[in-house]
Amino acid sequence: MGEFYIGIDSGTQGTKVLIIDNEAKAIAVETYASHGLIEDNNGKKEQEPAWWISAIKTALSDALQKSKISPKEVKAIGVSGQQHGFVPLDKSGNVIRPAKLWCDTATETEANALVERLGGEERVIALIGNSIAVGFTASKVAWLKEHEPQSYARLDKILLPHDYINFWLTGEKKAEYGDASGTAFFDVRTRTWSESILNTIDNSGKLRSCLPELVSSEALIGKVRPELCKEFGFGSDTLVSSGGGDNMMAAIGTGNVSPGIVTASLGTSGTIYCFSEKPVIDPNGELAAFCSSDGHWLPLVCTMNVTVSTELTRNFLDLDINKLNQNVKKAPVGSDGLILLPYFNGERTPALPAARATLFGINSTNYTQANVCRSAMEGATFGLRYGLDIMKQNGIQPSEVRLVGGGSKSKVWRQIASEIFNCPVVCPNTHEAGALGAALQALWCHSHYSGENSNLKDITEQFVSLDESTRAEPDSENAKKYDEIYDKYLALNDALTCLY
């Protein structure tokens, strides 16, 4: 009998399933299934949780079939889920309405009103260590209370997306510190729910009873339900780990579990984060002071538009990915003066949820496909540079940035990132960092359950390796040019803020 662990990564666009072989210290198989999105032009971004379950079933069945392992050899399952979503359940455990997602900005009014009622952003940060970003869960709960009172009256339990998948797997309604810290009603210092925030949303005391039990990162949620064991062939003792948010799991999946390493995700949205042994509280509230899913902390900055920028540009110009990259290579550093503020979905950092994208600096000679393509890539990366600078201002000094997400597959984008960050960048050998992190956390939790108490850093060193062929070192002259262009980018952002 072998020893296998499954990682499930349920994201915005689809679900990935990955199986690791603990004896071979290798990934056995990776599969994927997509799901849809409910959206409009007023900030709505929602999904039916049933779509997640359907995608998981498809990808999980495919993975088990392709790997040709016995499902009874699976010891534990870990779940990575998109952060900040709001899954409202009634007393019977049924979903009341579609889940509002991390990228939903329809709750801007509620977020601003919460901050005002609490006494301002400084007071909010003092209470929970974080600001109340529009994308965080708190404003979604307030939105439901305000706009759908009948649904709010039925509300019995508040779960995050990965919590809901754990509930489907085990029947247990529990939450884990890392993902919970992105709700904006959780104190990252004490790792407890914030009564002050909850009572400000609803002073009846209802919300506290709607919150699940909190568990630590190395804890188990429970065992896979008998019905699912029968459906997939798992043994009755198959465990489910605490899991976590996608960024927390990707940190584990990139080996970002000790000081000095920074992970940056070039996905639909962008995130940049690192390991910390203590909470890192940004007095300006731009750095998210999250807990990690390894028992520590994960200071993080999120931007809303990364591959959104390049994909919209590619589609507008009717280019395939190869042609996009070729165009970027043709254009000079700085795109001949074109600067793109890539706020297609509004922006979280800086906090400009109502912002719109702007292409600046066009003249009769620089308005070319190549320059437009490169400006889309540079603009998205400047957004992450903004986050990296916030981290540096809070005492974090990166020695290496590990890139994940679809954009990291582009050689020219990796070089641009290294020069805009002025730091070496490299990709792990697997791009599925969230799913891998979930599987590794499942292994770690299983070891604690079995009394072995393995060290997570030792586990990641066995499974996480770097693809040195992807390493990019910054050219000093180009890095200097990008410093100057970045200053213009900030000035442009400041000048346009009053118009949003």
- Assign 285 a pLDDT band (cuts: 50, 70, 90): confident
Note the pTM of the prediction, 2 decimals: 0.90
Q: Are residues 329 and 270 in the same domain?
A: yes
Print the domain residue range for 414. Answer: 255-431+465-500
246 assigned to active site = yes
Q: How many domains does the chain have?
A: 2
CA distance 258 to 277: 8
Would 440 be classed as within a structural domain? no
Q: Are residues 21 and 48 in the same domain?
A: yes
Average confidence score pLDDT of the chain: 95
Q: Average the pLDDT over 90-110 and give the result.
A: 95
Q: Are residues 300 and 405 in the same domain?
A: yes
CA distance 441 to 267: 22
Which residues are CB-neighbours of 102 under 8 A, at least 6 positions away? 12, 45, 82, 83, 84, 85, 135, 269
Do β-strands 239-241 and 74-81 pair in parallel, antiparallel, or remain unpaired? parallel
Q: How far is CA 276 from CA 174, 259, 280, 394, 427, in A?
A: 25, 6, 8, 11, 21
In this model, does residue 260 exceed pLDDT 90?
no
Q: Which of 246, 267, 287 is the last residue of a domain?
A: 246
Q: Which of 246, 269, 303 is the last residue of a domain?
A: 246
Q: Are residues 232 and 288 in the same domain?
A: no
Looking at residue 7, its pLDDT comes to 98
Looking at residue 414, its pLDDT comes to 98
Looking at residue 267, its pLDDT comes to 87
Catalytic residue among 21, 104, 246, 336: 246
pLDDT in tens, 142-184: 999 999 999 999 999 999 999 999 999 999 999 999 999 999 9
- Assign 396 a pLDDT band (cuts: 50, 70, 90): confident
Looking at residue 395, its pLDDT comes to 85
- Cis peptide bond N-terminal to 350, omega within 30: yes
364-381: string of b/e by CB count within 10 Å (b at 16+)?
Answer: eebeebbbbbbbbbbbbb
Q: Are residues 330 and 403 in the same domain?
A: yes
Would 436 be classed as within a structural domain? no
pLDDT in tens, 9-26: 999 989 999 999 999 999
Would 296 be classed as within a structural domain? yes
Q: Are residues 165 and 209 in the same domain?
A: yes
Report percent pLDDT > 90 for the chain.
89
Would 116 be classed as within a structural domain? yes
Would 453 be classed as within a structural domain? no
Q: Are residues 279 and 199 in the same domain?
A: no
CA distance 312 to 340: 13
Q: Are residues 289 and 236 in the same domain?
A: no
Residue with tokens 């979905």: 345
Q: Are residues 302 and 342 in the same domain?
A: yes
Q: Are residues 162 and 275 in the same domain?
A: no
Would 419 be classed as within a structural domain? yes
pLDDT in tens, 38-87: 999 888 999 999 999 999 999 999 999 999 999 999 999 999 999 999 99
Would 140 be classed as within a structural domain? yes
- Assign 380 a pLDDT band (cuts: 50, 70, 90): very high
Asked if 388 contacts 299 with a C-beta cutoff of 8 angstroms, the reply is no
Q: Are residues 293 and 231 in the same domain?
A: no
Asked if 280 contacts 289 with a C-beta cutoff of 8 angstroms, the reply is yes
Q: Which of 190, 219, 246 is the last residue of a domain?
A: 246
pLDDT in tens, 332-343: 999 999 999 999
Would 105 be classed as within a structural domain? yes
Q: Are residues 398 and 494 in the same domain?
A: yes
In this model, does residue 394 exceed pLDDT 90?
no
Looking at residue 194, its pLDDT comes to 97
In this model, does residue 345 exceed pLDDT 90?
no
CATH number of the domain at 284, please. Answer: 3.30.420.40
Tokens of 245: 């948010």
